[in-house]
Structure 1
């Protein structure tokens, strides 16, 4: 189970090097466009008086899953943010599961995770400024006393760093441990073939269980911080 860290694309004298994790993410986005397009067509043609089935049923369950993750934090603004969170949750979940087919997880790339986390952070800040104004937002950083301003600033910067490193650490650690186990099995052959019976359980934990849990944690925290700014119930 060796992983190539980068993919080289050559067109004549032109050479493009791209990280495998980023290439996998672009492929996931590409195929997701077709999935959402055809799913939308199916939903438009579906009869609301009949029980959903097939792709429509799958989409309904995905929608319920998204509501389960974000509705408790976003409250009455949930429907406004479902398209964004729904898309990102589905894409990240698929990304975390790509290790099952021997591809490098996009979320094992720290720059990828940082981009998502900073995007979420900018959204929180934008909503905070939109709610009370830029001056009011700066004033919040000096409360309850101006001496605590440095700590408040650190508190504002900590969430995106925490989201980035938690996701990166868990996914990368799972990939490394799985690779080490495969290497060990290969080196102790022929007994290694007996060890292959353990690999489904390894992937079940590091790719499936851990991937689902990390997706849930990332967007639960992301929706929580956003809900603090946009939900009236949080005020």
Structure 2
């Protein structure tokens, strides 16, 4: 497991330093761009009368997975928001698995998580204002009595902070624990080589299970609060 480091890019007389987690995220986005482009071409050429297979089948299963995460919260507005949520969910799952190949996980960077959380929060607030107007939205913060306004404001601001720190804390903790185990194995060699049998299970939990679960929690909460503003409330 690598330590936090920077990627240095030299272009002529210029030197650009990018934190490894951000560079990894940029690479994931570029790869995803090509993947979605070729997947879209495959889907356009697919015969709907025949069973799906290959890349088209993979995309179909990914779509069903995304629906499982957000449809219960977004309800009838799911189709409208699924491009954004679908893209971010798939990219974050891939990002959470980068630790398996020795790269720094983008979600272990608090600024990265804060950007995602703030984006969702602004979307929620924007839709709340669009739904009832700015005056009505401000009035909601004074209910059920004006004395509770400070608490209501704190509650609204707590969402992006909570999303950020929950994801950051869990992912970073997993990275630190794995790093400590590798350091211990290295320091007690040659007996430490016996401990290498444990490392696949560490990665299985912290990089796969925990990473997927944290992605699920992040976007389930985000879609829930967004759904409160955009979906029709049941009687």
Using structure 1 for the length normalisation, give the TM-score. Answer: 0.98
Distance 1:85 1:137 in 2: 24
2:123 paired with 1:111: no
Query: Shift in Å at residue 192 of structure 1?
Result: 1.2
Runs of 5+ consecutive residues of structure 1 not aligned to the other structure: none
Query: Shift in Å at residue 12 of structure 1?
Result: 2.9
CA displacement 1:74-121 (0-9 Å, x = unmatched): 000011111110000000010011000000000000000000000000
Q: 2:208 aligns to what?
A: 208
Distance 2:9 2:157 in 1: 37
Distance 1:99 1:58 in 2: 23
| SS of aligned partner of 1:142 | coil
Q: 1:61 aligns to what?
A: 61
Q: Write out the 4+ residue segments of structure 1 that deviate beyond 6 Å after TM superposition.
A: none
How many residue pairs match? The answer is 235
CA displacement 1:103-150 (0-9 Å, x = unmatched): 000000000000000000000000000000000000000001000000
2:37 paired with 1:37: yes
Using structure 2 for the length normalisation, give the TM-score. Answer: 0.98
2:20 paired with 1:23: no
Q: 2:78 aligns to what?
A: 78
Distance 1:202 1:2 in 2: 15
CA displacement 1:175-219 (0-9 Å, x = unmatched): 111011001111111111111111100000000000000000000
Q: 2:46 aligns to what?
A: 46
2:123 paired with 1:132: no
Kindly report the root-mean-square deviation, in angstroms, between the aligned alpha carbons of the 2 structures. 0.9
Q: 1:175 aligns to what?
A: 175
Runs of 5+ consecutive residues of structure 2 not aligned to the other structure: none
Distance 2:51 2:69 in 1: 24
